[in-house]
Structure 1
């Protein structure tokens, strides 16, 4: 029986606080099904696209196909989730999002969308507006936990991180979608780490600016400073834990841990700990409580533990590749320090950044720093002036924050 690493334990604790706040009711139809089944339950057609990267990782991606797509000039839009997320994040926020052929008429007037009726699932909203929606999944999450050579439970499989997602997975997916659709460009919407990976790609391979129009970054976690809650710092900034995780590559927060949550919430001592941590969780996101069980069925979706290490390094080292230590850096990079992602090399004129003043993970000051490091300034930079709009609300909303979708739809209408 495999041992549970410390960060997975920490993740169970974190998610249990979330579970502790809600009363679970009868199972929701979206509770135990995968992305393809959810897509088809709403009246759309689903396509599963398996993509193999140059280093052997097998990525499973889902396409939401509108029945009238042959009659629509559909631009492909890639939706990429944040850390520990999956493509499911864009289709499970609300129970609605059913096929509505009349919505195509609102493509140029998105302010007229009735979100109470249409819901707050970005994937289905875009599909109903006539876009060719792709739910993408990077290596190591629930849908992309496979390899042509390595066992997904082996250290070899998990010896990977954000850098390969940005420089291998993302361009491979983009090129595949362009070839499949015969289009010249894709639109890309990345939440948190999903936006970070695109900034890294455009820094490393500036030519991809010609293939991605627009790139909409929702709360991109490029610079995070030390804005995470104080009680998290001992875990993220612990040198011993960092060394342990680098030396023993493994998976963090796999989807299966959600099954343990209900038994945890019955332990009085654990509940006392949850109560102390709860205020920090409220700083991260507020959700539709009636969907809590569904959220916990689809999130977390797993990630390499090296990603946790990398984000801890972002806070202290800046936007660089993973730091393995001086000796291993020399072997991997040829330098004692990990290479920097030079944001000044990005030449895209089609970047849109959307962030919130209420985000405690990607603080507004971090976004200012990002913009200041870009030689080509964003085409648009939209700041949501709502103090209760948290980091997690860019994907999971309680229904009061969906108006920001109109910004996205207005931007896409220009392409």
Structure 2
């Protein structure tokens, strides 16, 4: 090849590289998106990574709940599939199962391992805002806690999945409040034990007596403020605009995002783990936070904190006798849970702490296992975004599910 032509090609390649680098620098300075996942929807993110994504809608009490489904692995759709249902926690949505990339996100790991993966979205989040007849700013729309999600929405979701895959029992995985929903459903609607083959609770939330997070200081405030807010027609709690916490959470809002301040806030609430923290993922994670919930959900957790952390139904005060037939709200009857469970907890989790997880484990009558993640600094959010999530948690979850679901899948190559 002509030497001049080679030099010209080399120069053009370098010019393109420099221009590309310059565009990235300019975009960063302007605050533009550097990771495409930051602004994409869940189906778009999944498709961008080469997986099929389906969107399904389940109607429960008029709420239009959106499910995101990865029906098979990236390259293989011929294997008979077991079914996995993933339920996010408070202020979350289905994005939390996929934001850590194909290697480190549980949804992709399960799909590639032979599971038909369904990801639920709770009523009121960005994917499940719709309602057949209620206005989104009405009192009735936001009149729910995780109890209503557990006894109405999750059964409707399971019924729907069973309608699509009648021959498959389901493996349930819940993070934080996602596990609360599981425990409450199986205690209150025990007929749904037969739908599940196994359950995994990541950072389990049932008893919360020994919670170490500063959010415990907010419990008395919530108990005082929530009724006032609801009397004034404000039934949706939005931290970014709430006069009570807006200054505190501002660094973790897309409009005022500051990496260091946001990290410090999340670490203070959930537990710090510098080694597993991915600073480049944080703006993506923040953009996919659902910064709203019902005041009633917060009030329900606050009531538990005020009652020795007991796992109980919502306290309606003087209306308890009319609603429950008792002066105080009943406790959830965990003896009704029949599904084998695995409880995974982090040693540096300020929200789901060892003593409370141990109490839950001791109360369960079903065959259960309790695992501490091997990293001593592993915290509440590391289940979703840890750099080594594959080794520390996802592979262990996969091995447990394969064992419980009797899947003949080779896991000898997994790292530990």
Structure-2-length-normalised TM-score: 0.79
| Alignment coverage as a number of residue pairs | 360
Q: Which residue of 2 aligns with 1:338?
A: 329
Specify the SS of the correspondent of 2:156: helix
Tell me how far apart the structure 1 counterparts of residues 263 and 113 of structure 2 sit (CA, whole Å): 42
Specify the SS of the correspondent of 2:104: coil
CA offsets per residue over residues 330-382 of structure 1, 9 Å max, x none? Answer: 3433333222211122223x21111122211111000111011122341x221
Q: Does 1:288 align with 2:271?
A: no
Contact 2:346 2:378 in 1 (8 A): yes
Q: Which residue of 2 aligns with 1:397?
A: 386
Give the direction of change, closer, same or farther, for the CA distance of 1:214–1:26 in structure 2 (3 Å limit).
same
Give the direction of change, closer, same or farther, for the CA distance of 1:315–1:127 in structure 2 (3 Å limit).
same
Q: Which residue of 2 aligns with 1:387?
A: 376
Tell me how far apart the structure 2 counterparts of residues 375 and 174 of structure 1 sit (CA, whole Å): 23
Tell me how far apart the structure 2 counterparts of residues 342 and 351 of structure 1 sit (CA, whole Å): 16
Q: Does 1:355 align with 2:361?
A: no
Q: Which residue of 2 aligns with 1:411?
A: 400
Tell me how far apart the structure 1 counterparts of residues 355 and 390 of structure 2 sit (CA, whole Å): 22
Quick one: higher RCO (CA 8 Å, sep 6+), 1 or 2? 1
Query: How well do the aligned residues superpose, as a CA RMSD in angstroms?
Result: 2.8
Tell me how far apart the structure 2 counterparts of residues 322 and 345 of structure 1 sit (CA, whole Å): 19
Match of 1:322 among 291, 314, 334: 314
Q: Which residue of 1 aligns with 2:290?
A: 300
Q: Does 1:251 align with 2:242?
A: no
Tell me how far apart the structure 2 counterparts of residues 276 and 126 of structure 1 sit (CA, whole Å): 31
Which one is further off, 400-409 or 350-359?
Answer: 400-409
Tell me how far apart the structure 2 counterparts of residues 278 and 259 of structure 1 sit (CA, whole Å): 10
Give the direction of change, closer, same or farther, for the CA distance of 1:404–1:205 in structure 2 (3 Å limit).
same
Q: Which residue of 2 aligns with 1:58?
A: 64
Unaligned runs of 5+ in 1: 1-22, 98-118
Give the direction of change, closer, same or farther, for the CA distance of 1:275–1:372 in structure 2 (3 Å limit).
closer
CA offsets per residue over residues 102-161 of structure 1, 9 Å max, x none? Answer: xxxxxxxxxxxxxxxxx2111111112221011111111111111111011212100111
CA offsets per residue over residues 184-240 of structure 1, 9 Å max, x none? Answer: 41111011111111111111122222211111111111011142434x344222232
Bigger Rg, structure 1 or 2: 2
Q: Which residue of 2 aligns with 1:108?
A: none
Tell me how far apart the structure 2 counterparts of residues 45 and 279 of structure 1 sit (CA, whole Å): 34
Tell me how far apart the structure 1 counterparts of residues 54 and 250 of structure 2 sit (CA, whole Å): 27
Tell me how far apart the structure 1 counterparts of residues 54 and 178 of structure 2 sit (CA, whole Å): 22
Tell me how far apart the structure 1 counterparts of residues 263 and 365 of structure 2 sit (CA, whole Å): 45
Specify the SS of the correspondent of 1:183: coil
Give the direction of change, closer, same or farther, for the CA distance of 1:154–1:130 in structure 2 (3 Å limit).
same
Contact 1:255 1:300 in 2 (8 A): no
Q: Which residue of 1 aligns with 2:8?
A: none
How far the C-alpha of 1:255 sits from its partner, in A, is 9.1
Q: Which residue of 1 aligns with 2:53?
A: 46
Q: Does 1:236 align with 2:219?
A: yes
Q: Which residue of 2 aligns with 1:169?
A: 153
How far the C-alpha of 1:252 sits from its partner, in A, is 2.4
Tell me how far apart the structure 2 counterparts of residues 60 and 205 of structure 1 sit (CA, whole Å): 22
Tell me how far apart the structure 2 counterparts of residues 260 and 408 of structure 1 sit (CA, whole Å): 29
Give the direction of change, closer, same or farther, for the CA distance of 1:188–1:211 in structure 2 (3 Å limit).
same
Specify the SS of the correspondent of 1:37: helix
Specify the SS of the correspondent of 1:344: helix
Which one is further off, 252-261 or 279-288?
Answer: 252-261
Specify the SS of the correspondent of 2:85: strand
Contact 2:147 2:313 in 1 (8 A): yes
Which one is further off, 281-290 or 336-345?
Answer: 281-290
How far the C-alpha of 1:302 sits from its partner, in A, is 2.9
Give the direction of change, closer, same or farther, for the CA distance of 1:234–1:218 in structure 2 (3 Å limit).
closer
Unaligned runs of 5+ in 2: 1-29, 242-248, 406-416
